[in-house]
C-alpha cells in the first residue's frame, strides 16, 4: 500500500513539477533563454532584489559604464524599498517580475502561483506606473500551471543562457568573471544576483559579483558585444528556421549539456568546432609525427557546430562544400590551439579527433583520416546525412546523389602537431595566404 502511494505521488510530482521544468529549462518550451537575433548584443539581468546594500552599487556601476540592465525584483522587497525600484525605473533600466516572495513553484498550487504573479505585478505597477512584461520564476522552476500562467497575464517568461554561479560560497570575483566570459556569445542573457537573503545564497555573495562586474562589462566592450535592453534584444528578428531546425536545436542543447560538449570561443563567438574531454576507445595508432595514440589516452573529441555547418553549406557540390569547410577549419584550428593551450582541463590530451564526412583535404590542415568499423560508419553516416538534410535546403538531394562519396572517416591530429602548426600567432598570416 505504502509503495503504491509512493509511486502515485512520484508520478503526480513528475507530471506537475518535473516535466514542466524540464520542458522549460532544457527544451525552452514557452520561455526565452537567449536571443538568436542578437546581432552582436547581449542582455544583463539581476535577480532577487531590490536590496539596499547591493542594488545601489549595481546601479552606480551600470551608470558608470552607460549600460542598461533588467532587474527581476521580488514584490515584497519592492514594497519595502519602493525608492530603489523607482530609481531603477528612473535611470532607464527594465523592472520585471520575480514573483512576490521567492517561493518554490513545486510547493505551490494554481491559486498560490496566481497570487505570487498578480501581487508582484500589482506592486511593480503601483511604483513604476507600468505593469511588468517580463517574468522569471524563482530558481527557474515551473509547475504545470506556472508554465502557462504568466503568458495569460501578458508576461513573457525569461530564463538565462547560462549561470554565473555568483551566489555560491566558493564564488570569487575571478571565478564569476571567468564563467561568464568563457561562455558569453551573441544573444546571451546573463544573470547575476543583487541580494543574499533568499535560500541558497551565500552571505555577502553579491559583493563578489560587484567586484567582477566592471571586469565583465569592460571585456564585453572589448569583444564588441553591446549590452542591450532585454526587451529590445528579445524582439530582435532572428534567422528564420524551419520547425525541424528549431526542434533539433532544442534537442541538441540537451545533448550538449548531458554529454558535456562545450563551444570553443573566439572573443565570445563560437567557431566551427565544439569539444569534449574523452578517453580514446580505438585501436593503437601511430600518427605521422610519431605520436602514439593508445586506448585510454585522453583526447579532445571534436564535434561540428551545426549552425556553423549551415553557414558553410552553401554549395550543392560536395567538393566545394569540402573546400569551404577546409578554409573555415584552418581559421578555426588557430583558435582551437590557443584555446586548448589556455584551458587547464585539456592539458593532458594526446590528440584531437572527430568523425566527419567532410574529410576532403583534411590532410592539408594536419589531420590523418582513418577508416572506421562498418557499424560506426553506418551510424555516423546516418547522423551526418540527417544534419545535412536538416540544415541545408538541398541536403536531401545531395545525400541521394553523392551517397557513395560521403564516407565517414576518423580524423586525428596529435596535440603537438596542432600546436606546431597553429599555436603561434604568426601562423595566422600563413593560413590566410
- Give the residue extent of every domain in the chain: 12-235, 243-432
Residue 314: predicted pLDDT:
47
Residue 98: predicted pLDDT:
95
| Residue 353 cell numbers, joined | 579527433
**Is 47 noted as a catalytic residue in this protein?**
yes
Q: DSSP of 55-80, one letter per residue? A: HHHHHHHHHHHT---EEEE-HHHHHH
Q: In this structure, which topology does domain 12-235 adopt according to CATH?
A: TIM Barrel (3.20.20)
Residue 104: predicted pLDDT:
85
Angle between helices 318-342 and 415-422 (to 10 degrees): 100
The closest of 330, 331, 333, 388 to 356, measured between CA atoms, is 388
The closest of 140, 208, 201, 220 to 176, measured between CA atoms, is 208
Which residues, 6 or more positions from 287, have their beta carbon under 8 angstroms from its beta carbon? 293, 351, 368, 412, 413, 414, 417
Phi, psi of 324 (to 5 degrees): -65, -40
Give the tens place of pLDDT for each residue, 160-208. 999 999 999 999 999 999 999 988 988 999 999 999 998 889 999 999 9
Residue 347 to residue 19: CA distance in whole angstroms: 39
Residue 433: predicted pLDDT:
41
Residue 51 to residue 206: CA distance in whole angstroms: 10
Phi, psi of 141 (to 5 degrees): -100, 145
Residue 320 to residue 396: CA distance in whole angstroms: 17
CB atoms within 10 A of CB 368: 21
Catalytic-labelled residue, pool 28, 47, 93, 102? 47
Residue 239: predicted pLDDT:
58
**Is 81 noted as a catalytic residue in this protein?**
no
Bond from prior residue into 203 cis (ω within 30 degrees of 0): no
| Residue 157 cell numbers, joined | 517568461
Residue 431: predicted pLDDT:
43
Residue 217 to residue 150: CA distance in whole angstroms: 31
pTM: 0.67
Catalytic-labelled residue, pool 81, 193, 359, 392? 193
The closest of 110, 109, 113, 65 to 91, measured between CA atoms, is 65
Residue 250: predicted pLDDT:
75
Residue 37 to residue 296: CA distance in whole angstroms: 42
Given a cut of 50, the residues of the chain with pLDDT beneath it are: 314-317, 426-433
188, β-bridge pairs: 34
Residue 56: predicted pLDDT:
98
Based on C-alpha coordinates, what's the Rg of the chain?
A: 24
Amino acid at each position: 500500500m505504502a509503495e503504491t502511494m509512493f509511486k502515485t505521488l512520484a508520478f503526480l510530482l513528475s507530471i506537475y513539477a518535473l516535466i514542466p521544468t524540464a520542458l522549460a529549462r532544457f527544451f525552452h518550451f514557452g520561455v526565452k533563454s537567449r536571443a538568436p537575433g542578437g546581432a552582436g548584443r547581449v542582455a544583463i539581468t539581476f535577480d532577487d532584489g531590490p536590496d539596499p546594500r547591493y542594488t545601489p552599487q549595481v546601479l552606480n556601476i551600470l551608470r558608470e559604464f552607460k549600460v542598461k540592465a533588467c532587474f527581476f525584483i521580488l514584490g515584497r522587497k519592492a514594497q519595502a524599498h519602493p525608492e530603489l525600484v523607482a530609481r531603477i525605473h528612473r535611470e532607464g533600466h527594465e523592472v520585471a517580475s520575480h514573483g512576490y516572495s521567492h517561493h518554490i513553484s513545486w510547493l505551490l498550487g494554481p491559486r498560490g502561483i496566481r497570487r505570487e504573479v498578480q501581487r508582484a505585478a500589482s506592486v511593480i505597477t503601483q511604483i513604476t506606473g507600468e505593469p511588468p512584461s517580463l517574468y522569471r520564476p524563482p530558481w527557474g522552476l515551473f509547475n504545470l500551471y506556472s508554465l502557462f500562467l504568466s503568458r495569460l497575464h501578458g508576461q513573457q517568461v525569461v530564463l538565462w543562457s547560462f549561470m554565473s554561479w555568483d551566489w555560491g560560497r566558493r564564488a570569487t570575483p575571478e571565478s564569476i568573471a571567468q564563467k561568464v566570459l568563457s561562455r558569453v556569445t551573441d544573444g546571451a542573457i546573463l544573470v547575476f544576483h543583487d541580494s543574499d537573503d533568499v535560500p541558497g545564497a551565500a552571505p555577502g555573495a553579491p559583493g563578489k559579483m560587484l567586484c567582477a562586474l566592471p571586469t565583465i562589462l569592460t571585456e564585453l566592450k572589448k569583444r564588441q558585444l553591446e549590452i542591450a535592453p532585454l526587451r529590445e534584444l528579445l524582439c530582435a528578428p532572428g534567422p528564420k528556421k524551419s520547425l525541424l531546425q528549431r526542434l533539433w536545436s532544442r534537442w541538441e542543447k540537451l545533448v550538449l549539456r548531458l554529454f558535456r560538449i562545450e563551444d570553443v570561443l573566439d572573443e565570445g563567438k563560437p567557431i566551427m568546432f565544439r569539444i569534449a574531454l574523452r578517453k580514446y576507445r580505438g585501436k593503437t595508432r601511430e600518427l605521422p609525427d610519431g605520436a602514439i595514440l593508445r586506448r585510454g589516452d585522453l583526447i579532445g573529441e571534436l564535434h561540428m557546430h551545426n549552425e556553423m555547418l549551415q553557414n558553410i553549406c552553401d554549395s550543392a557540390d560536395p567538393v566545394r562544400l569540402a573546400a569551404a569547410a577546409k578554409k573555415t577549419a584552418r581559421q578555426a584550428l588557430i583558435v582551437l590551439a590557443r584555446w586548448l593551450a589556455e584551458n587547464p582541463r585539456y592539458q593532458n590530451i594526446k590528440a584531437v579527433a572527430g568523425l566527419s564526412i567532410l574529410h576532403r583535404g583534411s590532410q592539408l590542415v594536419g589531420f590523418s583520416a582513418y577508416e572506421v568499423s562498418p557499424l560506426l560508419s553506418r551510424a555516423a553516416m546516418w547522423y551526418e546525412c540527417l544534419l545535412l538534410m536538416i540544415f541545408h535546403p538541398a541536403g536531401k538531394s545531395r545525400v541521394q546523389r553523392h551517397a557513395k562519396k560521403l564516407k565517414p572517416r576518423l580524423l586525428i591530429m596529435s596535440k603537438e602537431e596542432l600546436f606546431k602548426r597553429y599555436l603561434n600567432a604568426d601562423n595566422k598570416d600563413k593560413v590566410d595566404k
